Amino acid sequence: MMSLKPTKYQKRENPNSDFCCVPQCSMSGKFNSAVSFHHFPKNENLRKIWTRNVRRENLVIKRTTTVCSRHFMPTDVIQGGRRRLKEGAVPVLFAWNDYSQPEVRPSVRERTERPEEEAIEENETNVDLLLRCHDYNARPEVSDLDTAQKIIEAQQLAIEELRKRLEEVTLKQSFGLERFLASDDDIRLYTRFASYRHLQAFWRQIEPATERIVHVGGTCSSTPSATAPLDNSTDLLRRPSRCLPMIDELFLFLMYLSLGLKERDLGNRFNIHQSTVSRIIQTWVNFLYTLLSAVGIWMSPETIRTSMPSVFGKYSDTQVIVDCTRIRCQKPSSLLLSEMFTHYKSHTTLKGMIGVSPHGAVTFVSSLYSGSISDEELFRQSGIIPLLDKDMAVMVDKGFRIDELVPCKVYRPPFLSKKSQMSHDEVLVTQDFARLRIHVERTIRRIKENKLFDTIIPLTLAGSINQLFAVACLLSNYQNKPLVEV
């Protein structure tokens, strides 16, 4: 008979009670080794085979009865993590048959020192072999260098192509202005600007002022102190951190104004929190309201005359064409605000007045008032009267009975009064006024193409609706070309 070669193992720090039930096998759980212990299978037929192979007399199989892995073929033991047997594996390696496992590498304590002469001879042999495998003095042939250089260049081109594809995929997954710079149709949809070039021209005008923008809800202000010296380090520390680039914050605000999207929708698109979207909108509406309002939009009579369209003919002294527009808003619960209801729209509304030049540019924007205010009273409170003088003329609708309020000429369609019908001349005058006053109607339509004003304005926007309306009116001068060719 042939016995398994005895092997010594180091003891475990935390031994267990496992042991091998095979006769003449001394493996137990107190040794730290690659040996694992496996319980008898539940399958009756397979268990009988195990019992027959083990050859232990009067063997009583209990829950703790195990066979160590040294009695199984190496291919039957599944390595990795907790070692286990393949399905149907049986022990076949024993001291009484002709099988034995490969010799286990002896432990450090059992290793014997080799003779010094043998070690020196082996080292010399290894050095010779190393020199033969690595000839450091040899130089590659020219053809090999050319081939290697071509392979490197091809790999660099492949890397560059993969980098470009990665940038394209990343850009498609992100939602920002850069994603739509090649599509003017998308720019018109999201921002109301005619093209990406027009939007960039507007951004170049306002970009220097963004260095002093005050972020709503930020922990610190970007406006420097009047007494503190202005240096780069102080200015960088004073600026709050931003989730988006400045131009993408402007893009977000223009989308909010143009499409009337909800803050949560914008947050999902730009991958930021809804509260951050709200702060960005408040920041930019205040910033643009302050910045654009500082630009004088009221034109001098000389400038108006140089840009006067020829269709005005005998009304060439017209300085401004005014009209009112309404915005629907949420019904307030307080009866004190009942004057916001108007029978004209059968809804609670806010009312504002817009003035345009004869060639269609917005030159005056009033604040918003309650919907029940009359056109005459709105004209009185708007603040436009001090801008008019006796050499000017203002063109209005029939609802503006302002002849006694202004020092200038008033062009207004004639009234029917008590007559059954208008005269021929009055009809022609009414038609002339309608052709000219259509410009202010078209300008108002442009402003109200911002979908924010299509919906019912919630009362939560009551504190900023004036600024939003004014910014939409002022932006229309930058977003569109003149209505009338000069």
Residue 265: per-residue pLDDT: 93
Q: Is residue 163 part of a domain?
A: no
285 and 308 share one domain: no
Q: How far is CA 205 from the centre of its chain?
A: 25
**Domain's final residue, options 61, 80, 102:** 102
279 and 370 share one domain: no
Residue 486: per-residue pLDDT: 54
311 and 391 share one domain: yes
309 and 327 share one domain: yes
Q: Is residue 201 part of a domain?
A: yes
Q: Is residue 231 part of a domain?
A: yes
**Domain's final residue, options 245, 268, 293:** 293
Q: Is residue 6 part of a domain?
A: yes
Residue 220: per-residue pLDDT: 38
Residue-number span of the structural domain to which 98 is assigned:
1-102
286 and 340 share one domain: no
Q: Is residue 344 part of a domain?
A: yes
280 and 379 share one domain: no
472 and 379 share one domain: yes
Q: Is residue 396 part of a domain?
A: yes
305 and 289 share one domain: no
263 and 319 share one domain: no
Per-position pLDDT tens, the chain of length 486? 444 444 555 566 667 778 888 888 888 877 756 788 888 988 888 888 888 888 888 888 888 889 988 888 888 888 877 788 888 889 988 887 766 554 445 445 545 555 555 554 555 555 555 445 445 455 555 566 778 888 888 888 889 888 887 776 665 556 888 888 888 999 999 999 999 999 999 999 999 999 999 888 754 333 343 333 434 444 433 444 578 899 999 999 999 999 999 999 999 999 899 999 999 999 999 999 999 999 989 999 999 999 898 888 889 999 999 999 999 999 888 766 677 888 777 889 999 999 999 988 999 999 999 988 999 999 999 999 999 999 999 999 988 999 999 999 999 998 877 777 888 888 888 898 888 898 899 999 999 999 999 889 998 888 899 999 999 999 999 988 766 665
- Report the domain count for the chain: 3
Q: Is residue 446 part of a domain?
A: yes
Residue 169: per-residue pLDDT: 64
Residue 81: per-residue pLDDT: 73
Q: Is residue 229 part of a domain?
A: yes
**Domain's final residue, options 263, 293, 323:** 293
pTM above 0.75, yes or no: no
305 and 451 share one domain: yes
222 and 364 share one domain: no
Residue 137: per-residue pLDDT: 52
390 and 255 share one domain: no
